[in-house]
Amino acid sequence: MNGPVDVACPFRGRVFRYGDHVNTDVIFPGRYTYTKSRPEEVAPHALEDLDPTFVERVRPGDVIVAGWNWGCGSSREQAAVCLRYAGVGAVVARSFDRIFYRNALNNGLLAIVCPEAVDALEEGADVEVDLDGSVIRHGGTSFSFSPFSPAVRSMIAAGGLIEQTKRRLAAG
Amino acid sequence: MTGAGRPADTARTFAQKALARASGHESVAVGEIVDARPDIALSHDNTAPIAEIWRQFGQERVSIPERMAVTLDHAVPAPTIRHARNHAEVRAFVAEQGVGHFFEVGRGICHQVLSEEAVVLPGDLILGSDSHTPHFGWLGAFGAGVGRSEMAVIWATGELWLRVPESIRIRLEGALGEWVTTKDVALTLIGDLGADGALYRSVEFEGPAIAGLSLDSRAALVNMMAEMGAKNAYMPPDEEVFRYLAERLLTRPGRRTGRGAEPGEASGEIVARLREGALHPDAGAGYAAEHLLDLSSVQPQVARPHQVDDTVDVGQLESVRVDQAFIGTCTNGRLEDLGEVHRVMSGRRTAPGTRMVIVPASSEVWNEALARGWVADLAAAGAVFGTPGCGPCMGNHLGVLAPGEVCISSANRNFQGRMGDRGSEIYLASPAVVAASAVAGRIVHPREVTE
């Protein structure tokens, strides 16, 4: 298992391309959902039913590029956690399922809507993702995405929703 | 009050009204982000891992025990020691924290049980760590799914930020034809609009056809809007819904939340209270899209593997052999669904080589099916029954599929590998089509086996 990459700073990785409507059952199968929850338990099953060789090939900072409605289906948060702890820094898609989108950002996995990047980036392409600059770079090309709100960026900087809530509760 | 400068007389959608109420504002704009306080926070077998997240906050007590509802439903009774340990952790947490609404193994699926128990009422906000939480729109409540971390935050703080969604309006006219159900209506809509046709949106039904739909039928349709990507869905609650809830509130007095009947309260008073609490969109509210569907134009549908929006009229499907037929889930495991199955299968038998698994959505459904003699008839027809709960819907429990097997299912998702091996295939259809296919051994229109 690779472990998570720090997405608050620009990071580099390679592109893994997938299609439309990739659902949470193939990202993290339901047969494990009530017996495996911790990051180190779920990461080895990332994309198991979509691309069984993914976990052997993924390296820290790699980026998934996909089509419409990534993460549809179940609310299971392990779908975001398994990708994050397998080393994925960002999923770049044409659109996201809303629960997956929230789960991803809450766990520090960037969920980036950027159709131009989806059109252009091929399997294996080397990319850099820059959260502060709201840009994805590949060779000499840049793809801008809508900046995340200050609230979302401060949550990511804090280490995700749980860390942020700990601070909030401690501050009273 | 936020929303200063907003005209007070602006027509509003259901979503705007529900989220204004839940966030304590007089009105909220589409796109606004509000801190909403759910009336009910739902979790199920995932309660133990959520508790593990919540304990990181260092609180001794959750902030909203009386608003919490927990069911054990996703893998019941426990199939493995790991599942059993998970259930034991859930029970210990529920006892430790004094969770307001807890339902044991066998009571049924969270969405069905919280409806039957009148835990969720019209106009409520319910957030659930389950993607089918939009289900509660059939009662006129705002239901939305959240993740486990978010549920832990709700337990700790009592609130969660939500964006007020755009709404789409779907007007229903006409009446369902013979052998056509609201499952077919849902699959027709999803086939037309796509599996992301309502992404991030509130799906708000209206129209004269709703009054003619049974309560079970309404629940099935609203439930399936999760498969169109909806944040929530809504059907305007009518007197039938208020009476359903009032009956149940009367027999469940003294709830610690104060949401049950008051001592001495009459059914009519409860109905009046529910009517007053119900929310209806204003005429002239702004919708991102509007659709019209004539129910009489709908035909029995099948969704092919592995996408819910890959739909086709059952009559246009080439011959598909079936290994397993499955009836159940929060979508189509209710009494009306078992009644349709009984209508098709009674006095007939499953085809050689085809097995039939039925998992009622709740103990209430199971008991009523028993009392009506349907269970005996269906067992004689070759069906086997599971404990009320989610069954094999997400591949967790009895009735999972082997490589290469084909299942026709009354559930809501046909994703690759969902019910077992990734080499298996799931077709989705109405309970009547599932039952007919069990008898024929291949996917057929109910007419083919009943005439």
C-alpha pair distances (Å), A111 with each of A53, A55, B423? 22, 19, 29
H/E element holding B378? helix B374-380
- Residue B417 belongs to domain with CATH number: 3.30.499.10
Residue contact B196–A21, C-beta within 8 A: yes
Whether A21 sits inside 8 A of B307 (CB atoms) is yes
CB-closest option in A30, A35, A69 to B394? A30
- B154/B197 same-domain check: no
pLDDT at B4: 42
Q: State the greatest distance between any 2 C-alpha atoms of chain B, in Å, as a whole number.
A: 69
- Kindly list the residues from chain A whose CB atom is less than 8 angstroms away from the CB atom of residue B149: 77, 103, 106-107, 160-162
CB pair distance less than 8 Å for B396 and A30: yes
User: CB distance B420–A80 less than 8 Å?
Assistant: no
CA atoms within 13 A on the CB side of A24: 32
Contact B52 A37 (CB under 8 A): yes
Chain B residues whose beta carbon lies within 8 Å of the beta carbon of residue A99: 131, 145-147
Considering the domain architecture, whether residues B207 and B134 belong to the same structural domain is answered as: no
Chain B residues with CB under 8 Å of A47 CB are none
Asked if the Cβ–Cβ distance from A99 to B145 is below 8 Å, we say: yes
- Residue B118 falls within a domain, yes or no? yes
**Tens digits of per-residue pLDDT, A153-163?**
999 999 999 99
Burial B91-110 (b: 16+ CB within 10 A, else e): bebbeebebbbbbebebbbb
Minimal C-alpha gap between B84 and chain A (Å): 10
Q: Cβ separation of B147 and A169 shorter than 8 Å?
A: no
CB contact under 8 A, B396 and A34: yes
Say whether A165 and B417 touch across the interface (CB within 8 A).
no
In CATH, what class is A11-170?
alpha beta
Q: Closest residue of B to A52, CA-based?
A: B422
Same domain, yes or no: B200 and B318: no
One domain, residues B53 and B171: no
Across the interface, whether the CB atoms of B200 and A98 are under 8 A apart is answered: yes
Distance from B46 to chain A by nearest Cα, in Å?
A: 6
**Claim to verify: residue B267 and residue B315 sit in the same structural domain:** no
* Residues with Cβ within 8 Å of residue A65, at least 6 apart in sequence: A15, A16, A17, A18, A91, A92, A93, A117, A118, A121
The reply to whether B113 falls in a domain is yes
Chain B contacts of A29, Cβ < 8 Å? 395, 417
Residues B51, B75, single domain; the answer is yes
Q: What's residue A71's pLDDT?
A: 97
Which structural domain range is residue B430 located in? 301-450
C-alpha span between B199 and A97 (Å, rounded): 7
- Amino acid sitting at position B99: V
Interface test with B, best of A98, A100, A101, A156 (most B CBs within 10 A): A98
Ranges under pLDDT 70 in chain B = 1-9, 253-258
In a domain, B247, yes or no: yes
B3 located within any domain? no
Position of tokens 């499907």? Answer: B317
Q: B89 in a domain, yes or no?
A: yes
Q: What's the domain count of chain B?
A: 3
Cβ–Cβ gap B146/A75 under 8 Å? yes
The reply to whether residue A98 touches residue B229, judged by beta carbons under 8 angstroms, is yes
Q: What is the DSSP letter of B73?
A: -
How high is the mean pLDDT of chain A?
95
Q: Which amino acid is present at B435?
A: A
Chain B closest-CA separation from residue A139 CA (Å): 33
CB contact under 8 A, A75 and B157: no
**Cα A144 vs. chain centroid, distance in angstroms?**
17
- Whole-angstrom Cα distance, residue A89 to residue A8? 10
Start-end of H helices in chain A: 24-27, 39-42, 54-57, 78-86, 98-106, 115-120, 150-158, 161-170
How large is the ipTM?
Answer: 0.94
CB A93 within 8 A of CB A133: no
Q: Specify whether B145 is located in the same domain as B31.
A: yes
Instruction: Note whether B265 and B354 are same-domain residues.
Output: no
Q: What pLDDT digit, counting tens, does each position of A82-94 carry? A: 999 999 999 999 9
Give A108-153 pLDDT, tens digit per residue.
999 999 999 999 999 999 999 999 999 999 999 999 999 999 989 9
Q: Specify the pLDDT at position B2.
A: 41
Please classify residue B111 by burial: count the beta carbons closer than 10 Å to its beta carbon, then call 0-12 exposed, 13-18 middle and 19+ buried: buried
Contact list, B225 vs chain A (CB under 8 Å): none
B213 in a structural domain: yes
Q: What is the pLDDT of residue B254?
A: 57
Same domain, B153 and B28: yes
Cβ of A77 and B149 within 8 Å?
Answer: yes
> Which residue in this structure is represented by tokens 């509007």?
B290
CB A30 within 8 A of CB B416: no
- Which residues of chain A neighbour B422 with C-beta distances below 8 Å? 26, 49
pTM of the complete model: 0.95
The three-class DSSP label of residue B360 is coil
In a domain, B250, yes or no: yes
What CATH number is given to the structural domain containing B171?
3.40.1060.10
DSSP assignment letter at B433: H
> Does some domain include residue B21?
yes
Residues of B whose CB is below 8 A from A160: 149
Q: Which residue has the tokens 């229109």?
A: B445
What pLDDT was estimated at residue B8? 47
Same domain (yes/no): B268, B347: no
* Chain A residues contacting B via beta carbons under 8 Å: 21, 23, 25-26, 29-31, 33-35, 37, 49-50, 68-69, 72-75, 77, 80, 95, 97-99, 102-103, 106-107, 160-162, 165-166, 168-169
How is chain A split into domains, by residue range?
Answer: 11-170
Can you tell me which residue has the tokens 């199920």? B44
pLDDT in the model for residue B5: 42
Cβ distance of B415 and A98 shorter than 8 Å: no
Shared domain check, B310 and B229: no
B370 and B256 inside one domain = no
Tell me which chain B residue has its CA closest to the CA of residue A72.
B229
